Each structure stands twice: as structure tokens, then as C-alpha cells.
Amino acid sequence: MLVVDVGGGSTELVDVDRSGSARAVGLALGSARLTRALLTGDPPLRSDLEGVRAVAARILRDAPNIKPVEIVGVGGTVSNLLKLVPGEAGEPILSRRGIAIALTLILEQPAAESAARFGVRPERARLLPAGGVITDEILRRYGADSMRVSEEGIREGAVLAVAAAGPAWRDRLRRLARGSDN
């Protein structure tokens, strides 16, 4: 399983293999970082998103070279994208097609209007175009059409791990990843 959290300054990837071993990688690939560097308009131009896509694809070359059976997106970027295109059959699933639809909707109006229309915080709405492109590039990088979405983030998972296993949580990570600490 690959757990992905696209943040403002970075993207965190946690690879959990079948044995429960986990490996975390942080990449300097964030929606706020790329919005500040590459997107000046509100809404940004579709052609400007291609610059975001090129940077994301380049940075994702350093992502773990794995073949995940499942990808789970966590945190604000993916949960807010899902507000624009609810999952299939009510499931919290974000597909590449859904991301394309969300980007089209976002690019139709300024961030403040998108925020009001879709119930997204205004500052988050401004970052969603870059966040959507980064998320799409992650799916493309791993040959996946979709990911399951959780509003919880990696940070919440770390808090739960510490709560369940105490200060030695790192020593128990393999068991925690399998869902038990007995």
C-alpha cells in the first residue's frame, strides 16, 4: 500500500509492504510551493498547469520505485478535490478522470468563487489546481487510475501510533502497520 499526503510544502509517501514494513519519503513537491512559483493568475491558465505537471513529474522520479496494490490519499488536498467530484457510488474514491473534472471546474472561476461553490476554504481553493496536478502525477507515476481518500493525514496516523504503542512506537511499526500491537 502507498499512502500519499500532498501538502503545501511537500509530498509525503509512505510505502507499507506485505510484511508490514513501512518506509516514508518526503519530496519537495507541495501545492503552495508550486502555486507560488508557477501559478500567477486566479484562476490559473490551463497552460500554466503544464509547468506544474513538468516539475511534479521530474520530482516524482525520486519517489519509491514500487508497484502498490492500493494507493490511499490522505489530508486536505485529496479530500477537497473529492468535494468537487464525489466518489463513484458514494465511495471516497478519487480517479484521474475525477481530477481532470475537478481541474476543469476550478479553472472556470476565481478561487473565492470555487471556495463558496464547493465548500472549500478560500486559501485551500487557491492551492487546489497545483494539488490536483500533483495528485494526478502521482497516480500516473504508479500506473493507477484512482486512489481511496481519507480526510485523516499521516500526522494523525503518527499520533495514533504513538497513542497505541507509546514512546517505542517505531520499534512496533511493523505490527502497527498490520493493525495490531499485541
DSSP letter for each residue of 40-62: -SSSPPHHHHHHHHHHHHHHHTT
The ranges assigned to domains in the chain are 2-151
In this structure, whether the domain defined by 2-151 belongs to CATH 3.30.420.150 is answered with: yes
pTM of the model: 0.85
Q: How many CB atoms lie within 10 A of CB 16?
A: 21
Instruction: Encode the chain (182 residues) as per-residue pLDDT tens digits.
Output: 889 999 999 999 988 877 777 788 999 999 999 999 999 999 999 999 999 999 999 999 999 999 999 999 998 999 999 999 876 557 889 999 999 999 999 999 999 999 999 999 999 999 999 999 999 999 999 999 999 998 776 666 555 555 555 666 556 655 555 554 44
Count the residues in the chain.
Answer: 182
